[in-house]
């Protein structure tokens, strides 16, 4: 089952998209809660909600908006951004969030990942953001010196149920995902891989599904109308890749 998952990135309480992770290249698309309702109505199987301010602040910042999204829709919501403590994890899970992503903390505090998995199992997803193969942290601002495949292998070995991998250089470009990267990850890892970054056409979706990715996060292409969500979902169904 290949999932097409709309992204709702929140900054300053608004739904935004960044270009290649640059906070100075932001496009605002309105109210996040209304966007959540829209994507649900159009058939989205789940939502990927990112607290961009939280990613930089290393703690939840737009939590009220995220909780309002959870209250407004009935489909599963996955939350990312600023997750650094068990208290934050417990808050999100108790609030009805279906999955929580751990990003920078997977590099900076591996013990936290182990503790999170011990308590919440496959509700935990590790988000790996990379540029030129290097894992980036703290809102995509700092290099880690760690290669993406090495971290992904460590996370799989730690018991993480799935990883979401974003190629920052492709993000927001709509020029196509880094297929070589995802092919390597799918081939090398024993756990599902969700792709993110660069999707701009239906062909990109088909290519990722053919590689064996579990799903893809789609942002700008949906907001700009380059990809029509109902049509994309129907195309996946026609290919036998029910979204």
Distances (CA, A) of 217 to 86, 108, 146, 177, 222: 25, 24, 23, 11, 10
Find the mean pLDDT for residues 163-181. Answer: 87
Residue corresponding to tokens 């492709």: 170
C-beta separation of 13 from 54 below 8 A? no
* H or E stretch at 72: helix 63-72
As given in the structure block, the two tokens for residue 68 are 């309002």
* Secondary structure class of 49 (helix, strand, coil): strand
pLDDT in tens, 27-36: 888 899 999 9
Find the mean pLDDT for residues 93-101. Answer: 96
As given in the structure block, the two tokens for residue 99 are 């999955």
Is the model's pLDDT at 203 over the cut of 60? Answer: yes
Is 43 exposed, middle or buried, given 0-12, 13-18 or 19+ CB atoms closer than 10 A?
middle
Q: Which residues are catalytic?
A: 9, 129
- Domains of the chain (ranges, CATH numbers): 3-238 (3.20.20.70)
How much is the pTM? 0.92
Apex CA 33: angle with CA 160 and CA 50, to 5°? 30
């Amino acid at each position: 089952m290949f999932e097409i998952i709309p992204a709702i990135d929140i900054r300053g309480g608004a739904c935004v998209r960044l270009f290649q992770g640059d906070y100075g290249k932001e496009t605002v698309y309105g109210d996040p809660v209304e966007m959540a309702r829209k994507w649900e109505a159009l058939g989205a199987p789940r939502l990927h909600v990112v607290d961009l301010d939280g990613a930089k602040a290393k703690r939840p910042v737009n939590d009220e908006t995220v909780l309002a999204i959870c209250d407004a829709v009935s489909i599963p919501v996955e939350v990312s951004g600023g997750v650094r403590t068990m208290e934050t994890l417990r808050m999100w899970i108790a609030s009805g969030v279906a999955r929580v992503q751990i990003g920078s903390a997977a590099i900076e505090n591996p013990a936290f990942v182990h503790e999170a998995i011990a308590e919440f199992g496959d509700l935990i997803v590790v988000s790996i953001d990379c540029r030129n193969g290097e894992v980036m942290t703290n809102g995509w601002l700092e290099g880690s010196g760690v290669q993406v495949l090495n971290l992904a292998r460590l996370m799989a070995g730690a018991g993480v149920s799935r990883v979401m991998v974003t190629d920052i250089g492709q993000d927001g470009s709509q020029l196509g995902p880094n297929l070589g990267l995802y092919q390597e990850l799918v081939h090398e890892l024993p756990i599902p891989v969700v792709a993110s970054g660069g999707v701009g056409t239906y062909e990109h979706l088909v290519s990722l599904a053919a590689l064996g990715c579990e799903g893809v996060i789609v942002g700008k292409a949906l907001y700009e109308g380059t990809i029509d969500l109902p049509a994309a979902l129907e195309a996946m169904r026609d290919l036998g890749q029910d979204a």
